[in-house]
Amino acid sequence: MMKPAKNSHRITGLLSVLAAAALLIVRPALHPVHAAAAQTPTCRELLVNGGFEEGGTGWSQVSAGGYNLISGFHPHTGSLGAYLGGANQADDRLSQPIALPAGVVSATLSFWWAIATEEPPGTAFDRLTVSLRSTDGAPLADLTTIDNNAVENQWDQAEFDLTGYGGQSLILEFHATTDANNITDFYVDDVSLVVCPAPKTYLPVLFR
Amino acid sequence: MNARNLRRLSRILSALLLAVLLCLPVPLAQAEPTTPHPVVKFAGVINAVPPAADYPLGVWQVAGRAVTVTAATRVLPARPVAVPGMWADVTARPAADGTLVAQRIAVMPAEVRIKGPIGEKPADPTGVGTWLIAGVSITVTAETRLSERGAALEVGGWAEVFATETPTGLVAVRLRGIEAQEDITVFGAIQSFDDTRWVLSSIPITVITDTLIIGTPAVGLLAMADATLQADGSLQAWRLKVSVLEPGSYHQPISFTGTVEALPPRGLLGVWTVAGRQVVVSAGTAINQTKGPVAVGAQVYVAGWQANDRVIATLIVVLSSPQASGQFVRFSGLVQQMPANGLIGEWRIADRTVLVTERTRLAGTRYARVGARAEVGGMQAADGTVTATWLIIWPSAGGPR
- Contact (CB<8Å) A154/B89: yes
Please, which pLDDT band fits residue B326 given cuts at 50, 70 and 90?
Answer: confident
Cα–Cα distances in Å, from B87 out to A150, B40, B83, B203, B281? 18, 17, 9, 17, 34
Residue B125 reports pLDDT greater than 70: yes
Cβ partners under 8 Å of residue B3, min gap 6: none
- Taking contacts as CB-CB distances below 8 angstroms, the residues of chain B near A125 are 291
Could you tell me the sign of the dihedral formed by the alpha carbons of B89, B91, B96, B98, in that order? positive
* B152 has a pLDDT exceeding 50: yes
**Among A179, A123, A180, which Cα is nearest to A148's?**
A123
Q: Is the pLDDT of residue B166 over 60?
A: yes
pLDDT on residue B199: 98
Does the pLDDT at position B35 exceed 70?
no
With beta carbons under 8 A apart, name residues in chain A contacting B76: 154-157
Write phi, then psi, for B110 (nearest 5 degrees): -80, 80
Tell me the C-alpha distance between B110 and B222, whole Å.
Answer: 10
Q: Which of A103, A199, A107, A122 is nearest to B292 (CA)?
A: A122
User: Kindly report the CA angle at B326 between B322 and B327, in degrees rounded to 5?
Assistant: 115
3-class state of residue A70 by DSSP:
strand
Name the residue facing B76 among A18, A71, A157 (closest C-beta).
Answer: A157
Q: Give me Rg for the CA atoms of chain A.
A: 23
How many helices and strands, by DSSP H and E, does chain B display?
1, 29
What's B376's DSSP letter?
E
Chain B interface test: which of A68, A71, A113, A123 (most B C-beta within 10 Å): A123
Contacts of B149 in chain A (CB under 8 A): 65, 67, 83, 86-87, 183, 185
CB within 8 Å: B111 and A123: no
Give tens-digit pLDDT for B252-268. 678 999 999 999 988 88
Tell me phi and psi for residue B340, to 5 degrees: -65, -40
Question: Shortest Cα distance from A130 to chain B (angstroms)?
Answer: 21
Residues 6+ apart with CB under 8 A from A66: none
Nearest to A183 among B174, B178, B257 (CB): B178
Across the range B93-106, mean pLDDT stands at 91
Q: CA of A13 to nearest chain B CA: how many angstroms apart?
A: 12
Q: Closest Cα partner for A18 from B26, B25, B30, B10?
A: B10
pLDDT of residue B329: 87
Q: If residue B201 lies in a helix (H) or strand (E), which one and from where to where?
A: none
CB B74 within 8 A of CB B121: no
Q: Which residue of A has its CA nearest to B162?
A: A153
Give the pLDDT confidence score for residue B3 in this predicted structure: 56
Three-state DSSP at B361 gives strand
Q: Which residues of A touch B299 (CB under 8 A)?
A: 123
- Shortest Cα–Cα distance, A92 to chain B (Å): 13
Residue B364 is predicted with a pLDDT of 79
The percentage of residues in chain A with a pLDDT greater than 70, rounded to a whole number, is 76
CA distance A21 to chain B (A): 9
pLDDT tens-place string over residues B362-372: 877 888 899 99
Amino acid identity for residue B349 in this structure: I
Nearest CA in chain B to A72: B145
DSSP run (H or E) holding A17: helix A4-26
In DSSP terms, B393 is beta-bridged to B374
Write the pLDDT tens digit of every residue in B170-205.
999 999 999 988 889 999 999 999 999 999 999 999
B382: confidence class by pLDDT, cuts 50, 70, 90: confident
Predicted confidence (pLDDT) at residue B18 exceeds the cutoff of 70: no
Q: Return the pLDDT at B122.
A: 97
Residue A63: pLDDT band (50, 70, 90) is very high
- Are B149 and A155 in contact (CB < 8 Å)? no
Separation CA B375–CA B383 (nearest Å): 20
pLDDT attached to residue A22: 44
Mean of pLDDT over chain B? 86
Q: What is the DSSP letter of A91?
A: E
For residue A53, pLDDT beyond 80: yes
Quickly state the pLDDT bin for A26 (edges 50, 70, 90).
very low
How large is the average pLDDT for residues B289-313? 89
How confident is the model at residue B389, as a pLDDT? 87
B288:A120 CB<8 A: yes
* Letter string b/e over residues B228-252, b meaning 16 or more CB atoms within 10 A of that residue's CB: bbbeeebbbbbbbbbbbbeeeeeee
Nearest by Cα to B108 from B150, B164, B53, B176: B164
Q: Assess whether pLDDT exceeds 70 at residue B328.
A: yes
Distance of residue B188 Cα from the nearest chain A Cα, in angstroms: 13
B223 vs B94, residue with greater confidence: B223
Minimal CA–CA distance to B221: which of B37, B38, B40, B39? B40
Q: How many CB pairs under 8 A join A and B?
A: 117
Residues of B in contact with A65 (CB under 8 A): 149
Overall size of chain A counted in residues: 208
pLDDT level of residue B357 (50, 70, 90 thresholds):
confident
Would you state the pLDDT for residue A108?
Answer: 97
Average pLDDT over residues A38-44: 66
Which ipTM was obtained for this model? 0.73
What pLDDT band is residue B164 in, cutting at 50, 70 and 90?
A: very high
Beta carbons within 8 Å of B173's beta carbon, 6+ residues apart: B109, B111, B144, B145, B162, B163, B164
Q: How many residues does this entry show for chain B?
A: 401
What is the rounded distance in angstroms from the CA atom of residue A72 to the CA atom of residue A56?
12
For B2, which residue in chain A has the nearest alpha carbon?
A4
Closest residue in B to A68 (Cα) is B149
What's the whole-number mean pLDDT along residues A53-73? 96
* Side chain identity at residue B394, one-letter code: W
| Residues 6+ away with beta carbon under 8 Å from B199 | B190, B191, B192, B193, B205
pLDDT surpassing 70 at residue A172: yes
pLDDT number for residue B194: 96
Quote the minimal CA–CA distance from A5 to chain B in Å: 7
Output the average pLDDT for chain A: 83
Task: Round to the nearest angstrom and report the end-to-end CA distance of chain B.
Answer: 99
Helix axes A4-26, B3-22, angle to 10 degrees: 10
Query: Quick one: pLDDT at residue B267?
Result: 83
Phi/psi of residue A12, nearest 5 degrees? -60, -45
| Residue A170 C-alpha from the chain's centroid | 13
pLDDT over 90 (residue A41): no
Task: Give the best-scoring range by mean pLDDT among A85-94, B285-294, B341-350.
Answer: A85-94
Q: Is B327 exposed, middle or buried (0-12, 13-18, 19+ CB in 10 A)?
A: middle
CA atoms of B43 and B88, how far apart (whole Å): 6
Say whether B181 and A180 touch across the interface (CB within 8 A): no
